[in-house]
Amino acid sequence: MAFIGWIVRILAVLILVRMVLRLFSGGGTRRATARSTRAPATREGGRLVRDPHCGTYVPVTKALRSGNGDSAVYFCSDACRTAWATRKAG
């Protein structure tokens, strides 16, 4: 029984140490509040478009465009644009 008493004491000390460390490190609820008040991260590349041939997502500013308006199709490279046009024509 003495062994179980030592285990209980050790667990109590570990719990107390953890509570003290959380108190000095900022604790759990403060972190969640700080994250929720931060502004959302923005992506540098802007809006992403999907290449219809290989499925790669590319920033619209760096994509190769084919077509106009709503029928515009965006590609990650000239090779994908050529392969897509060949597959579409054949």
Burial category of 1 from C-beta neighbours within 10 Å (exposed 0-12, middle 13-18, buried 19 and up): exposed
Residue showing tokens 């992403």 = 48
Q: Check: CB of residue 66 under 8 Å from CB of residue 75.
A: yes
Q: In a structure prediction context, what are the per-residue pLDDT tens digits for the chain, which is 90 residues long?
A: 788 989 999 999 999 999 988 888 865 555 555 555 665 555 665 888 899 999 999 988 889 998 888 889 999 999 999 999 898 887
Terminal-to-terminal C-alpha distance of the chain: 83
- The residue written with tokens 């003290």 in the block is 20
Length of the chain: 90
